[in-house]
């Protein structure tokens, strides 16, 4: 009798354990809200407003706006970071400080400061909560500032990479430290596949300024599955990653949690909020390779991954 009761208890425990594992699998397969959003700033669409709304909700104290074909901005009570996306010329702050400007430059517009330009320009404007240090120039020109030179790394690791650090989190990476928003102007030929965690991570944008034929971004919204290859079968694998071709003027929003990898020649301002926090770039190429091996996926059926980062789990 005791033996029978013991066996029956084991069966019940086993069933409960199976149910728990099944429930855990169903939970992890159920999905999440980590989604890339792309909008072309020169073609009005609903996705632009979605980006603005979700970005502000994810990052209290921040907002963004696109100003097309303007030659002035009135002063406000806000700190703004302006990215020159079109046009160029000479710009003045409060009719005093002046500089040449062109695509790829940043203008730091302090509270109470107005901007005037002698020609029409396009600006992507971020309102940010904190002012940059007075030691940072208000016109940051990556192709003209002797303090800004190519620093291979991140999503452009080749020794001859074009990667200019405009605003940075770390002093050994660049001269201009700012922990409200970072920006690297980068030509992305290939890069490791990664995401930024919800906790302790950061949101990222690609502001596309030039593109070679085939320039694209690979994204996915299920890093939880990618990091658990045992839960992935062929039907799941084919939906893990999507490739989106890019064009000049595209604004790509990558909220925390979105897997991404730029490929094939995309020149972009890579913008992060609050910045490129160390240890918050979690590589997944190792896992993608494992999924391919487990399922025997080859050729067009295989998941694309960056081979140079696939031998171990890479965290930057």
Q: What is the pLDDT of residues 205-249, one digit of tens each?
A: 999 999 999 999 999 999 999 999 999 999 999 999 999 999 999
221 inside domain: yes
Q: What is the pLDDT of residue 173?
A: 86
Q: Mean pLDDT for the chain?
A: 90
Q: Across residues 48-69, what is the average pLDDT?
A: 98
- pLDDT at position 158 is 57
Q: Is the pLDDT of residue 100 over 80?
A: yes
- Least Cα distance to 205 among 214, 217, 191, 193 occurs for 217
Confidence of residue 150 (pLDDT cuts 50, 70, 90): confident
Q: Considering the domain boundaries, does residue 184 fall inside one? A: yes
> Do the domain assignments include residue 15?
no
* 33 — pLDDT class (breaks 50, 70, 90): low
- The residues, ordered by sequence, that sit 6+ positions from 208 with a Cβ below 8 Å of its Cβ are 246, 247, 248, 249, 250, 251, 252, 266, 267, 268
- Could you tell me which of 194, 191, 190 has the C-alpha nearest to residue 204? 194
DSSP lists the bridge partners of residue 262 as: 217
Measured between alpha carbons, how far is 79 from 113 in angstroms, rounded to an integer?
A: 9
Comparison of pLDDT for 251 and 159, the residue scoring more: 251
The answer to whether residue 156 is domain-embedded is yes
Domain count, the chain: 1
Q: What local confidence, expressed as pLDDT, does residue 29 receive?
A: 45
CATH number of the domain that residue 97 is part of? 2.60.120.10
CB contact at 8 A, 244 and 290? no
Query: Worst-scoring range by mean pLDDT, 6-15, 273-282, 297-306?
Result: 6-15
Rounded to an integer, the average pLDDT of 22-29 is: 45
The string of pLDDT tens digits covering residues 2-15 is: 444 444 444 444 44
**Mean pLDDT calculated for residue range 198-210:** 98
Q: How far apart are CA 240 and CA 303, in angstroms?
A: 8
Q: What pLDDT sits at residue 11?
A: 44
Tell me, yes or no, whether 14 lies in a domain.
no
Q: How confident is the model at residue 172 (pLDDT cuts 50, 70, 90)?
A: confident
* Domain annotation covers residue 21: no
| DSSP class per residue in 149-179 | -B--BTTB-STT--EEEEEBS-TTT-S-B-S
Query: Alpha-carbon distance 180 to 177, whole Å?
Result: 10
Write out pLDDT tens, residues 120-144. Answer: 999 999 999 999 999 999 999 999 9
Q: What is the pLDDT of residue 157?
A: 57
Average pLDDT (71-79) is 98
Top-confidence residue, 192 or 34: 192
Residue 18 lies in a domain: no
Could you tell me if residue 85 is inside a domain? yes
Q: Supply the pTM of this predicted model.
A: 0.89
| CA–centroid distance for 26 within its chain | 29
| SS3 assignment, position 242 | strand
Domain extent, residue 303, equals 37-307
């Amino acid at each position: 009798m005791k033996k029978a009761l013991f066996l029956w208890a084991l069966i019940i425990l086993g069933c409960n354990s199976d149910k728990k594992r099944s429930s855990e699998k169903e939970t992890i397969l159920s999905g999440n809200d980590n989604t890339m959003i792309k909008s072309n700033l020169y073609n009005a669409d609903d996705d632009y407003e979605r980006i603005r709304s979700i970005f502000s909700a994810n990052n209290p104290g921040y907002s963004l706006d696109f100003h097309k074909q303007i030659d002035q901005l009135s002063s406000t009570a806000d700190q703004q970071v302006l990215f020159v996306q079109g046009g160029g010329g000479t710009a003045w702050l409060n009719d005093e400080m002046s500089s040449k400007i062109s695509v790829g430059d940043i203008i730091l517009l302090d509270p109470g400061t107005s901007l005037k330009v002698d020609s029409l320009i396009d600006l992507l404007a971020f309102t940010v909560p904190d002012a940059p240090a007075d030691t940072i120039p208000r016109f940051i020109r990556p192709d003209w500032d002797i303090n800004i030179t190519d620093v291979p790394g991140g999503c452009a690791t080749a020794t001859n990479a074009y990667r200019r650090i405009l605003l940075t989190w770390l002093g050994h990476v660049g001269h201009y430290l700012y922990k409200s928003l970072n920006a690297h102007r980068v030509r992305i030929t290939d890069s490791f596949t990664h995401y930024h965690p919800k906790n302790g991570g950061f949101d990222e944008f690609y502001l596309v300024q030039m593109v070679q034929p085939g320039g694209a971004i690979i994204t996915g919204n299920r890093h939880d599955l990618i990091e658990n290859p045992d839960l992935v079968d062929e039907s799941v694998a084919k939906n893990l990653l999507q490739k989106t071709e890019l064009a000049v003027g595209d604004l790509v929003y990558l909220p925390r949690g979105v897997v991404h990898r730029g490929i094939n020649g995309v020149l972009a301002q890579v913008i992060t909020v609050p910045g490129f926090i160390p240890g918050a770039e979690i590589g997944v190429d190792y896992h993608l390779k494992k999924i391919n091996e487990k399922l025997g996926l080859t050729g067009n059926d295989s998941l694309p991954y960056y081979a140079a980062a696939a031998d171990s789990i890479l965290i930057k």
